[in-house]
Chain A
């Protein structure tokens, strides 16, 4: 029963994602411009040890996509509440945790797909992996696991937010700092020491570092620590989201 509820809710998220081709394309715009304009624009003036700035940025932008997509797909719960569909799930004879898990899994799969599309674009405009292509197989679970945590974060907020206008606030004061502090756009070692401490509190850092390890063999923290950090983050976020969902309406 629980399993069927989870897959059903996850499948709906995937179906809605696939059905809205315009949205897929639209959300690829920002990562594309970051990669091409920021990447190539700063390539000449920003020397990066062991690679170039464009290649360095690829993992950062993929991480950005995971963060943005997971967060904002999960926040759709707020509009589902407004349009009434949330009630259909809340009164069904299923556990609230199943709703959280179903949504997190569905959103994380689509976030992963979106990040893979960004990597495809990167390859098209000249990105070259220095590591084995087999690493791409490792990359998928890494992306997925990181997305689970951010989906959980989005769901936790969505359980409390009544007004979609709050999204702007969340973006400016949570999502953007998480993105910028993660080392997605600058190398960690170039950050001042006071900032370095904060950087390692940012869960996105572990995804960025893990991806760079897989794609370029470059990273400040060991791969297993990245994985561990992400799993801990997932557990905390899903737990919080599940607890908050039990209290809805």
Chain B
């Protein structure tokens, strides 16, 4: 059985298709990433899997349970860490967890033992009796992860788990997530638009853009798609630059303000590139060379960078979700 299985999973808001016929299979215990820019359909996909949003078309199964047919059974078997905090700041860490444990029907005899256990997992046992409003952003996020794990779910959903955290806290949280994934032997599905995060954490990644899965593989394999090295060149005439034909160039992509070449060997190619460019009166302003990153894979596949978001796509989806309401039951 798969932790997650979807068949042509689709979500429409009116005439707008936020998620388009997605097919996914996530193994038990796998750390799986949904990577894409804001508005790509990551959170919408997650919301459907977590039974918070109705499915327009297609099917989704969590632990073999159909999310449309058995939402209650699904919700018992999953944990969710939302993009926005959902803790009660006026309660202590322990009280937040107790509240959760009771709502999820954890037997009274196990409750306090399990609460202590998850607090230890995220290294918050010393702060159990402190009000959550005294916690830092990273601590709140850790507490939310602990809460998501409390009722022994078999799948944990993490929606942009490190959004808004500083780089140091982010790295620490990654370590926690990795550790918990192993220790609790739980499948984790996380959405992120941070390339490094997906690269560092995930066993496999689905790259989503405009509601479609455009690639699905391990980070290593995804990067192998781009052979050799990547050179980013900025010049006074990028269009002309992109048309240069030289041996040793695999692919050329004209970006908004630069040209991306994936090449066999930059050491040999660069002098030639400069020469041909100056012959055509193209002035090269800057050059950067690097090993392919997931960012390059994304650019390679979509033709645009993950950061130059289609200005309002994310907002558009959010507004539509608000307008329609996540109708359930």
Q: Which of B75, B87, B91, B95 meets A91, CB within 8 Å?
A: B75
Q: Is A89 an interface residue (CB 8 A)?
A: yes
Question: Which chain A residues in 63-118 approach chain B with CB under 8 Å?
Answer: 83-94, 96
Output the least CB separation between A97 and chain B (Å): 11
Q: Is B72 an interface residue (CB 8 A)?
A: yes
Question: Which chain B residues in 77-127 approach chain A with CB under 8 Å?
Answer: 80, 82, 84-91, 95, 99-100, 102-105
Chain B interface residue count, Cβ-Cβ cutoff 8 angstroms: 28
User: Are A93 and B89 in touch, CB under 8 angstroms?
Assistant: no
Q: Which of A12, A20, A93, A249 meets B75, CB within 8 Å?
A: A93
Cβ contacts under 8 Å, A4 to chain B: 102, 105
User: Are A89 and B82 in touch, CB under 8 angstroms?
Assistant: no
Q: Is B50 an interface residue (CB 8 A)?
A: yes
Output the least CB separation between A91 and chain B (Å): 6
Question: Residue of B at shortest CB range from A86?
Answer: B86
Q: Is A21 an interface residue (CB 8 A)?
A: no
Cβ contacts under 8 Å, B85 to chain A: 83-84
User: Are B52 and A249 in touch, CB under 8 angstroms?
Assistant: yes
Output the least CB separation between A237 and chain B (Å): 21
Question: Which chain B residues in 59-86 approach chain A with CB under 8 Å?
Answer: 72, 75-76, 80, 82, 84-86
| Per-position binary interface string of chain B over residues 296-318, scored 1 when its CB falls under 8 Å from any chain A CB and 0 otherwise | 00000000000000000000000
Given contacts A8-B99, A12-B99, A246-B329, contact A93 B86 (CB under 8 A): no
Q: Is B164 an interface residue (CB 8 A)?
A: no
User: Are B325 and A12 in touch, CB under 8 angstroms?
Assistant: no
Some 11 contacts from A to B, beta carbons below 8 A apart, are A8-B102, A9-B103, A16-B90, A83-B89, A84-B82, A85-B87, A88-B88, A88-B99, A91-B75, A92-B103, A249-B52
The 9 A-B pairs at the shortest CB distance, nearest first, are namely A84-B86, A92-B103, A8-B102, A93-B75, A249-B326, A93-B76, A87-B86, A88-B86, A84-B84
